[in-house]
A and B are shown apart, each in its own frame.
Chain A
Protein backbone atom coordinates (compact mmCIF):
# COMPACT_ATOMS: atom_id res chain seq x y z
CA UNK A 1 0.00 0.00 0.00
CA UNK A 2 1.14 3.53 -0.80
CA UNK A 3 -0.29 6.74 0.63
CA UNK A 4 -0.68 9.76 -1.64
CA UNK A 5 -1.00 13.11 0.12
CA UNK A 6 -2.84 15.86 -1.75
CA UNK A 7 -2.47 19.63 -1.33
CA UNK A 8 -5.53 21.71 -0.53
CA UNK A 9 -6.16 23.02 -4.06
CA UNK A 10 -6.39 19.46 -5.46
CA UNK A 11 -8.58 17.83 -2.86
CA UNK A 12 -11.80 18.87 -4.58
CA UNK A 13 -10.72 16.69 -7.51
CA UNK A 14 -10.54 13.65 -5.23
CA UNK A 15 -13.86 13.89 -3.47
CA UNK A 16 -12.44 16.15 -0.78
CA UNK A 17 -9.90 13.59 0.38
CA UNK A 18 -6.52 14.78 1.61
CA UNK A 19 -4.92 11.33 1.32
CA UNK A 20 -5.46 8.48 -1.09
CA UNK A 21 -4.45 4.87 -0.65
CA UNK A 22 -3.01 3.15 -3.69
CA UNK A 23 -2.43 -0.57 -3.95
CA UNK A 24 0.28 -0.49 -6.57
CA UNK A 25 3.83 0.42 -5.76
CA UNK A 26 6.89 -0.11 -7.86
CA UNK A 27 7.45 3.25 -9.48
CA UNK A 28 6.00 6.70 -9.11
CA UNK A 29 4.58 6.33 -12.60
CA UNK A 30 2.62 3.26 -11.55
CA UNK A 31 1.29 5.06 -8.49
CA UNK A 32 0.14 8.05 -10.52
CA UNK A 33 -1.37 5.77 -13.17
CA UNK A 34 -3.47 4.12 -10.49
CA UNK A 35 -4.56 7.50 -9.15
CA UNK A 36 -5.49 8.49 -12.70
CA UNK A 37 -7.69 5.43 -13.15
CA UNK A 38 -9.93 6.59 -10.31
CA UNK A 39 -9.45 10.35 -10.44
CA UNK A 40 -8.65 11.40 -14.03
CA UNK A 41 -9.33 15.08 -13.44
CA UNK A 42 -6.95 15.09 -10.50
CA UNK A 43 -4.37 13.25 -12.57
CA UNK A 44 -4.28 15.81 -15.33
CA UNK A 45 -3.57 18.54 -12.80
CA UNK A 46 -0.41 16.62 -11.90
CA UNK A 47 0.72 15.37 -15.33
CA UNK A 48 0.09 16.68 -18.83
CA UNK A 49 -1.22 14.62 -21.73
CA UNK A 50 2.31 13.41 -22.51
CA UNK A 51 2.47 11.97 -19.02
CA UNK A 52 5.07 14.46 -17.86
CA UNK A 53 4.91 16.05 -14.45
CA UNK A 54 3.69 19.61 -14.71
CA UNK A 55 6.53 22.05 -14.30
CA UNK A 56 5.28 23.64 -11.09
CA UNK A 57 4.02 20.50 -9.39
CA UNK A 58 6.51 18.82 -7.07
CA UNK A 59 6.23 15.21 -5.94
CA UNK A 60 8.11 13.84 -2.96
CA UNK A 61 8.57 10.13 -2.30
CA UNK A 62 9.25 9.61 1.39
CA UNK A 63 10.40 13.20 1.58
CA UNK A 64 12.69 13.17 -1.45
CA UNK A 65 11.93 15.35 -4.48
CA UNK A 66 11.35 12.88 -7.30
CA UNK A 67 13.15 15.14 -9.76
CA UNK A 68 16.35 14.13 -7.99
CA UNK A 69 15.55 10.44 -7.67
CA UNK A 70 14.52 9.35 -11.14
CA UNK A 71 11.40 11.41 -11.76
CA UNK A 72 8.53 9.12 -12.72
CA UNK A 73 10.84 6.12 -12.51
CA UNK A 74 11.51 6.80 -8.85
CA UNK A 75 11.08 3.57 -6.87
CA UNK A 76 8.10 3.62 -4.53
CA UNK A 77 8.38 0.86 -1.93
CA UNK A 78 5.47 -0.61 -0.03
CA UNK A 79 4.18 1.69 2.72
CA UNK A 80 5.83 4.70 1.10
CA UNK A 81 4.34 8.16 1.27
CA UNK A 82 3.95 10.17 -1.93
CA UNK A 83 3.36 13.85 -1.29
CA UNK A 84 2.18 16.19 -4.03
CA UNK A 85 2.86 19.89 -3.49
CA UNK A 86 2.54 22.94 -5.72
CA UNK A 87 5.88 24.66 -6.03
CA UNK A 88 6.42 28.30 -5.21
CA UNK A 89 5.50 29.94 -8.49
CA UNK A 90 3.24 32.60 -9.86
CA UNK A 91 2.64 36.26 -9.17
Chain B
Protein backbone atom coordinates (compact mmCIF):
# COMPACT_ATOMS: atom_id res chain seq x y z
CA UNK B 1 0.00 0.00 0.00
CA UNK B 2 1.40 3.36 -1.01
CA UNK B 3 -0.18 6.66 -0.16
CA UNK B 4 0.54 9.66 -2.34
CA UNK B 5 0.23 13.12 -0.83
CA UNK B 6 0.37 15.93 -3.36
CA UNK B 7 1.40 19.26 -1.83
CA UNK B 8 0.83 22.38 -3.91
CA UNK B 9 2.88 25.32 -2.70
CA UNK B 10 3.60 28.87 -3.68
CA UNK B 11 6.73 27.73 -5.45
CA UNK B 12 5.89 24.36 -6.92
CA UNK B 13 4.37 20.95 -6.35
CA UNK B 14 5.88 18.46 -3.92
CA UNK B 15 4.91 14.79 -3.92
CA UNK B 16 5.18 12.73 -0.75
CA UNK B 17 4.79 8.96 -0.69
CA UNK B 18 4.55 6.62 2.24
CA UNK B 19 3.98 2.91 2.83
CA UNK B 20 2.41 3.53 6.23
CA UNK B 21 1.39 7.22 6.27
CA UNK B 22 4.04 7.85 8.93
CA UNK B 23 7.37 7.75 7.10
CA UNK B 24 7.30 9.94 4.01
CA UNK B 25 9.64 10.45 1.08
CA UNK B 26 9.20 13.90 -0.43
CA UNK B 27 10.18 14.79 -4.00
CA UNK B 28 10.02 18.03 -5.91
CA UNK B 29 9.45 20.72 -6.58
CA UNK B 30 7.66 19.96 -9.82
CA UNK B 31 6.86 23.19 -11.71
CA UNK B 32 9.28 25.22 -9.56
CA UNK B 33 8.52 28.90 -9.14
CA UNK B 34 4.86 28.44 -9.92
CA UNK B 35 1.97 28.68 -7.51
CA UNK B 36 0.19 25.32 -7.51
CA UNK B 37 -3.29 26.21 -6.30
CA UNK B 38 -5.05 23.08 -7.54
CA UNK B 39 -4.09 19.44 -7.60
CA UNK B 40 -6.12 16.27 -8.00
CA UNK B 41 -5.51 12.55 -7.84
CA UNK B 42 -7.95 10.99 -10.29
CA UNK B 43 -8.45 7.33 -9.45
CA UNK B 44 -11.23 6.43 -11.84
CA UNK B 45 -10.75 3.37 -14.05
CA UNK B 46 -7.72 3.49 -16.32
CA UNK B 47 -5.73 5.75 -14.03
CA UNK B 48 -4.37 7.09 -11.58
CA UNK B 49 -3.76 10.44 -13.15
CA UNK B 50 -2.39 13.46 -11.37
CA UNK B 51 -3.63 16.89 -12.40
CA UNK B 52 -1.94 20.11 -11.39
CA UNK B 53 -3.01 23.69 -11.94
CA UNK B 54 0.00 25.98 -11.74
CA UNK B 55 0.49 29.67 -12.28
CA UNK B 56 3.73 31.43 -13.05
CA UNK B 57 3.77 35.06 -12.02
CA UNK B 58 5.63 35.74 -15.26
CA UNK B 59 4.28 33.23 -17.77
CA UNK B 60 0.69 32.68 -16.66
CA UNK B 61 -1.48 29.72 -15.73
CA UNK B 62 -1.77 26.21 -17.10
CA UNK B 63 -2.82 22.66 -16.24
CA UNK B 64 -0.63 19.59 -16.60
CA UNK B 65 -1.36 15.90 -16.17
CA UNK B 66 0.78 12.92 -15.23
CA UNK B 67 -0.05 9.28 -15.77
CA UNK B 68 3.04 7.98 -13.98
CA UNK B 69 2.52 9.59 -10.59
CA UNK B 70 4.63 12.61 -11.34
CA UNK B 71 7.47 10.90 -13.16
CA UNK B 72 6.60 12.92 -16.25
CA UNK B 73 4.05 15.62 -17.00
CA UNK B 74 2.08 16.41 -20.12
CA UNK B 75 0.86 19.85 -21.04
CA UNK B 76 -1.08 20.46 -24.24
CA UNK B 77 0.23 22.77 -26.93
CA UNK B 78 -2.90 24.89 -26.74
CA UNK B 79 -4.01 26.33 -23.42
CA UNK B 80 -5.97 23.66 -21.53
CA UNK B 81 -8.07 26.26 -19.71
CA UNK B 82 -8.71 29.53 -21.51
CA UNK B 83 -11.60 31.94 -21.84
CA UNK B 84 -13.23 32.13 -25.26
CA UNK B 85 -12.39 35.22 -27.27
CA UNK B 86 -15.86 36.72 -27.05
CA UNK B 87 -15.64 36.94 -23.26
CA UNK B 88 -12.77 39.43 -23.48
CA UNK B 89 -11.37 37.74 -20.40
CA UNK B 90 -8.12 35.99 -19.62
CA UNK B 91 -7.57 33.24 -17.09
CA UNK B 92 -6.01 34.32 -13.81
CA UNK B 93 -5.47 30.88 -12.40
CA UNK B 94 -7.08 27.52 -11.87
CA UNK B 95 -8.21 27.18 -8.27
CA UNK B 96 -9.77 23.73 -8.33
CA UNK B 97 -9.55 20.50 -10.31
CA UNK B 98 -12.26 17.99 -9.52
CA UNK B 99 -12.80 14.67 -11.30
CA UNK B 100 -16.49 13.86 -11.79
CA UNK B 101 -18.05 10.65 -10.55
CA UNK B 102 -17.31 7.19 -11.92
CA UNK B 103 -20.32 7.41 -14.24
CA UNK B 104 -18.53 10.22 -16.11
CA UNK B 105 -15.02 8.77 -16.30
CA UNK B 106 -13.55 11.43 -18.59
CA UNK B 107 -15.16 14.49 -17.05
CA UNK B 108 -13.03 16.81 -14.93
CA UNK B 109 -14.19 20.19 -13.60
CA UNK B 110 -11.98 23.22 -13.16
CA UNK B 111 -12.85 26.17 -10.95
CA UNK B 112 -11.19 29.32 -12.20
CA UNK B 113 -10.32 32.94 -11.55
CA UNK B 114 -12.13 35.11 -12.47
CA UNK B 115 -15.12 33.16 -11.20
CA UNK B 116 -15.94 30.55 -13.81
CA UNK B 117 -16.39 26.84 -14.20
CA UNK B 118 -14.76 24.82 -16.96
CA UNK B 119 -15.51 21.25 -18.05
CA UNK B 120 -13.16 18.71 -19.55
CA UNK B 121 -14.39 15.65 -21.40
CA UNK B 122 -10.94 14.21 -22.00
CA UNK B 123 -9.69 13.59 -18.51
CA UNK B 124 -8.32 17.06 -17.92
CA UNK B 125 -6.30 17.75 -21.04
CA UNK B 126 -8.63 20.39 -22.46
CA UNK B 127 -11.50 22.32 -20.94
CA UNK B 128 -14.39 24.44 -22.15
CA UNK B 129 -16.22 27.24 -20.36
CA UNK B 130 -19.56 26.41 -18.75
CA UNK B 131 -21.49 29.21 -20.38
CA UNK B 132 -24.60 29.25 -18.25
CA UNK B 133 -22.69 30.06 -15.08
CA UNK B 134 -20.51 32.62 -16.86
CA UNK B 135 -23.60 34.28 -18.35
CA UNK B 136 -25.44 34.30 -15.02
CA UNK B 137 -27.01 37.74 -14.45
CA UNK B 138 -25.51 37.84 -10.97
CA UNK B 139 -21.95 37.66 -12.28
CA UNK B 140 -21.41 41.39 -12.57
CA UNK B 141 -22.08 41.67 -8.84
CA UNK B 142 -19.78 38.84 -7.76
CA UNK B 143 -16.84 40.35 -5.91
CA UNK B 144 -13.26 39.53 -5.12
CA UNK B 145 -11.80 38.67 -1.77
CA UNK B 146 -8.15 39.24 -0.99
CA UNK B 147 -7.23 35.98 -2.71
CA UNK B 148 -8.99 36.95 -5.93
CA UNK B 149 -12.41 36.27 -7.41
CA UNK B 150 -12.63 32.57 -8.05
CA UNK B 151 -14.71 29.43 -8.14
CA UNK B 152 -12.75 27.50 -5.52
CA UNK B 153 -15.08 24.62 -4.71
CA UNK B 154 -16.68 22.18 -7.13
CA UNK B 155 -18.85 19.40 -5.75
CA UNK B 156 -20.31 17.00 -8.30
CA UNK B 157 -23.16 14.89 -6.98
CA UNK B 158 -21.94 11.32 -6.47
CA UNK B 159 -25.09 9.72 -7.91
CA UNK B 160 -26.71 12.30 -10.15
CA UNK B 161 -24.47 13.73 -12.89
CA UNK B 162 -27.00 16.51 -13.47
CA UNK B 163 -26.49 18.02 -10.07
CA UNK B 164 -23.55 19.99 -8.78
CA UNK B 165 -22.71 22.73 -6.32
CA UNK B 166 -19.93 25.26 -6.70
CA UNK B 167 -18.76 27.99 -4.36
CA UNK B 168 -17.02 31.22 -5.05
CA UNK B 169 -15.59 34.14 -3.12
CA UNK B 170 -17.44 36.35 -3.21
CA UNK B 171 -20.76 35.26 -4.58
CA UNK B 172 -21.38 32.19 -2.49
CA UNK B 173 -22.86 28.84 -3.42
CA UNK B 174 -24.51 28.17 -6.78
CA UNK B 175 -26.30 24.98 -7.71
CA UNK B 176 -27.40 23.26 -10.84
CA UNK B 177 -29.85 20.39 -11.23
CA UNK B 178 -29.74 20.19 -15.02
CA UNK B 179 -26.10 19.44 -15.75
CA UNK B 180 -25.08 23.07 -15.76
CA UNK B 181 -27.76 24.45 -18.09
CA UNK B 182 -29.12 26.69 -15.32
CA UNK B 183 -27.70 27.83 -12.00
CA UNK B 184 -29.34 29.21 -8.86
CA UNK B 185 -27.78 30.64 -5.73
CA UNK B 186 -27.92 28.46 -2.63
CA UNK B 187 -27.02 30.75 0.24
CA UNK B 188 -30.17 30.93 2.35
CA UNK B 189 -29.08 31.05 5.97
CA UNK B 190 -25.47 32.05 5.31
CA UNK B 191 -24.67 35.44 6.80
CA UNK B 192 -22.71 38.14 5.03
CA UNK B 193 -21.92 40.42 7.96
CA UNK B 194 -19.84 42.66 5.72
CA UNK B 195 -22.84 43.74 3.62
CA UNK B 196 -25.64 46.17 4.54
CA UNK B 197 -28.11 43.32 3.97
CA UNK B 198 -26.55 40.55 6.01
CA UNK B 199 -28.76 37.85 4.53
CA UNK B 200 -28.58 38.40 0.77
CA UNK B 201 -29.57 35.94 -1.92
CA UNK B 202 -25.93 35.88 -3.03
CA UNK B 203 -22.71 37.76 -2.34
CA UNK B 204 -21.55 35.70 0.59
CA UNK B 205 -17.86 34.99 1.04
CA UNK B 206 -18.00 31.23 1.31
CA UNK B 207 -14.46 29.96 1.81
CA UNK B 208 -14.97 26.25 1.15
CA UNK B 209 -17.74 23.67 0.88
CA UNK B 210 -17.61 19.89 1.26
CA UNK B 211 -20.07 17.07 0.72
CA UNK B 212 -20.86 14.46 3.35
CA UNK B 213 -19.71 10.92 2.66
CA UNK B 214 -22.95 9.19 3.49
CA UNK B 215 -25.66 11.64 2.52
CA UNK B 216 -25.07 13.52 -0.72
CA UNK B 217 -27.80 15.96 0.27
CA UNK B 218 -25.64 17.09 3.20
CA UNK B 219 -23.03 19.77 2.64
CA UNK B 220 -20.74 21.66 4.99
CA UNK B 221 -19.48 25.23 4.54
CA UNK B 222 -16.73 27.26 6.10
CA UNK B 223 -17.78 30.84 5.57
CA UNK B 224 -16.03 34.17 6.12
CA UNK B 225 -17.26 33.93 9.70
CA UNK B 226 -19.75 31.13 10.01
CA UNK B 227 -19.66 27.37 9.77
CA UNK B 228 -22.77 25.81 8.30
CA UNK B 229 -24.48 22.61 7.28
CA UNK B 230 -27.03 22.06 4.57
CA UNK B 231 -29.30 19.04 4.57
CA UNK B 232 -30.97 19.88 1.27
CA UNK B 233 -28.07 19.84 -1.18
CA UNK B 234 -27.05 23.41 -0.59
CA UNK B 235 -30.39 25.19 -0.79
CA UNK B 236 -30.54 26.27 2.85
CA UNK B 237 -27.99 26.31 5.64
CA UNK B 238 -27.93 26.26 9.44
CA UNK B 239 -25.07 27.13 11.75
CA UNK B 240 -22.94 24.35 13.22
CA UNK B 241 -20.41 26.71 14.76
CA UNK B 242 -21.62 26.58 18.37
CA UNK B 243 -19.10 23.97 19.44
CA UNK B 244 -16.10 25.60 17.76
CA UNK B 245 -13.80 28.13 19.42
CA UNK B 246 -14.27 30.41 16.40
CA UNK B 247 -16.43 30.42 13.32
CA UNK B 248 -13.67 31.84 11.10
CA UNK B 249 -11.36 29.75 8.98
CA UNK B 250 -10.76 28.56 5.47
CA UNK B 251 -10.87 24.78 4.94
CA UNK B 252 -13.63 22.32 5.71
CA UNK B 253 -13.17 18.65 4.92
CA UNK B 254 -15.68 15.82 5.03
CA UNK B 255 -14.58 12.34 6.03
CA UNK B 256 -14.32 10.23 2.89
CA UNK B 257 -16.54 7.40 4.10
CA UNK B 258 -17.96 8.08 7.57
CA UNK B 259 -21.22 10.04 7.46
CA UNK B 260 -21.42 13.07 9.68
CA UNK B 261 -17.68 13.39 10.28
CA UNK B 262 -16.10 16.67 9.28
CA UNK B 263 -12.90 18.61 10.01
CA UNK B 264 -12.11 22.32 10.39
CA UNK B 265 -9.15 24.49 11.32
CA UNK B 266 -10.52 27.56 13.12
CA UNK B 267 -8.76 30.91 13.11
CA UNK B 268 -9.59 33.53 15.69
CA UNK B 269 -11.34 36.08 13.48
CA UNK B 270 -11.30 37.95 10.21
CA UNK B 271 -9.22 40.65 11.86
CA UNK B 272 -7.02 38.17 13.75
CA UNK B 273 -6.08 35.36 11.43
CA UNK B 274 -4.15 33.24 13.88
CA UNK B 275 -5.22 29.80 15.12
CA UNK B 276 -7.52 30.14 18.09
CA UNK B 277 -5.56 30.53 21.32
CA UNK B 278 -2.41 30.49 19.12
CA UNK B 279 -2.50 26.70 19.20
CA UNK B 280 -2.28 24.24 16.33
CA UNK B 281 -5.57 22.37 16.56
CA UNK B 282 -7.75 20.60 14.07
CA UNK B 283 -11.37 20.30 15.10
CA UNK B 284 -13.47 17.24 14.31
CA UNK B 285 -17.17 16.66 14.53
CA UNK B 286 -18.60 13.15 14.44
CA UNK B 287 -22.21 14.31 14.52
CA UNK B 288 -22.43 16.60 11.50
CA UNK B 289 -21.42 19.66 13.45
CA UNK B 290 -23.55 19.14 16.53
CA UNK B 291 -20.41 19.00 18.65
CA UNK B 292 -16.68 19.40 18.00
CA UNK B 293 -13.51 18.14 19.62
CA UNK B 294 -9.99 19.53 19.31
CA UNK B 295 -7.36 17.18 17.91
CA UNK B 296 -3.88 17.91 19.18
CA UNK B 297 -1.88 14.69 19.67
CA UNK B 298 1.38 15.04 17.80
CA UNK B 299 0.79 18.63 16.76
CA UNK B 300 3.00 21.47 18.03
CA UNK B 301 2.07 22.37 21.59
CA UNK B 302 3.67 25.82 21.70
CA UNK B 303 2.49 29.09 20.25
CA UNK B 304 1.46 28.56 16.63
CA UNK B 305 0.71 31.35 14.20
CA UNK B 306 0.39 29.99 10.64
CA UNK B 307 -3.00 29.60 9.06
CA UNK B 308 -4.28 26.78 6.86
CA UNK B 309 -5.64 27.88 3.50
CA UNK B 310 -8.93 26.69 2.02
CA UNK B 311 -7.51 23.80 0.01
CA UNK B 312 -4.64 22.97 2.33
CA UNK B 313 -6.55 20.31 4.25
CA UNK B 314 -7.81 17.02 2.86
CA UNK B 315 -8.58 13.39 3.60
CA UNK B 316 -7.42 10.30 1.75
CA UNK B 317 -9.47 7.27 0.75
CA UNK B 318 -8.17 4.72 3.24
CA UNK B 319 -10.08 3.05 6.04
CA UNK B 320 -9.23 4.33 8.59
CA UNK B 321 -8.99 7.61 6.76
CA UNK B 322 -5.92 9.78 6.71
CA UNK B 323 -6.27 13.50 7.25
CA UNK B 324 -3.69 16.06 6.15
CA UNK B 325 -3.06 19.75 6.36
CA UNK B 326 -0.35 22.18 5.34
CA UNK B 327 0.41 25.63 6.65
CA UNK B 328 1.45 28.94 5.21
CA UNK B 329 4.79 28.38 6.94
CA UNK B 330 5.46 25.25 4.88
CA UNK B 331 4.74 22.49 7.37
CA UNK B 332 2.62 19.49 6.43
CA UNK B 333 1.04 17.18 9.00
CA UNK B 334 -0.61 13.80 8.49
CA UNK B 335 -2.87 11.66 10.56
CA UNK B 336 -3.26 7.98 9.75
CA UNK B 337 -6.03 7.50 12.30
CA UNK B 338 -8.70 9.98 11.29
CA UNK B 339 -7.18 12.82 13.27
CA UNK B 340 -6.57 11.11 16.60
CA UNK B 341 -2.81 11.57 16.24
CA UNK B 342 -0.55 13.49 13.88
CA UNK B 343 3.00 13.43 12.59
CA UNK B 344 5.08 15.80 10.53
CA UNK B 345 5.37 14.96 6.83
CA UNK B 346 7.57 17.87 5.78
CA UNK B 347 8.75 21.22 7.07
CA UNK B 348 10.36 24.30 5.57
CA UNK B 349 8.49 24.00 2.29
CA UNK B 350 7.15 27.11 0.59
CA UNK B 351 3.72 28.21 1.73
CA UNK B 352 1.26 25.35 1.29
CA UNK B 353 -1.68 26.20 -0.97
CA UNK B 354 -3.34 22.81 -1.39
CA UNK B 355 -3.02 19.14 -0.47
CA UNK B 356 -4.67 16.02 -1.87
CA UNK B 357 -3.99 12.41 -0.91
CA UNK B 358 -4.97 8.94 -2.06
CA UNK B 359 -3.87 5.35 -2.05
CA UNK B 360 -2.09 4.65 -5.33
Contacts and interface: CB of A to CB of B under 8 A. Distances in A.
Interface of A: 9-10, 40-41, 44-46, 48-50, 52, 54, 56-57, 86-87, 89-90
A49 B58 contact: no
B197 interface: no
B181 to A, nearest CB: 25
Given A45-B56, A48-B60, A87-B58, 19 more contacts: A9-B58, A9-B59, A10-B59, A41-B75, A41-B77, A44-B62, A44-B79, A45-B58, A45-B59, A49-B85, A50-B88, A50-B89, A50-B90, A54-B59, A56-B58, A57-B58, A57-B59, A89-B58, A90-B57
A54 B60 contact: yes
B79 A49 contact: yes
B82 interface: yes
A40 to B, nearest CB: 5
Contacts of B57: 56, 89-90
Nearest to B90: A48
Interface of B: 33, 56-60, 62, 75-79, 82-83, 85, 88-91
Residue of B33, B57, B85, B91 ringed by the most chain A CB atoms within 10 A: B57
Contacts of A54: 58-60
6 contacts: A41-B76, A45-B56, A45-B59, A48-B60, A56-B58, A87-B58
Contacts of B79: 44, 49
Nearest to A39: B77
A54 B56 CA distance: 11
A49 B75 contact: no
Contacts of B60: 44-45, 48, 54
A82 to B, nearest CB: 17
A90 B33 contact: yes
Contacts of A90: 33, 57-58
Nearest to A90: B57
B58 A40 contact: no
Nearest to B78: A40
A27 B205 CA distance: 45
Contacts of A52: 90
Nearest to B79: A44
Contacts of B83: 49-50
Contacts of B89: 50
A40 B77 CA distance: 6
Residue of B60, B85, B88 ringed by the most chain A CB atoms within 10 A: B60
Contacts of A10: 59
Nearest to A89: B57
Contact of A49 (B33, B56, B76, B82): B82
A75 B215 CA distance: 63
Nearest to A52: B90
A87 B85 CA distance: 27
A15 to B, nearest CB: 13
Given A40-B78, A41-B77, A48 B91 contact: yes
Contacts of B59: 9-10, 45-46, 54, 57, 86
Contacts of B76: 41
A10 to B, nearest CB: 7
A90 B34 CA distance: 10
B208 to A, nearest CB: 25
B90 A49 contact: yes
B230 to A, nearest CB: 35
B76 to A, nearest CB: 8
A86 B83 CA distance: 24
Contacts of A45: 56, 58-60
A44 B88 CA distance: 16
A55 B76 CA distance: 23
Contacts of A56: 57-58
A87 B57 CA distance: 10
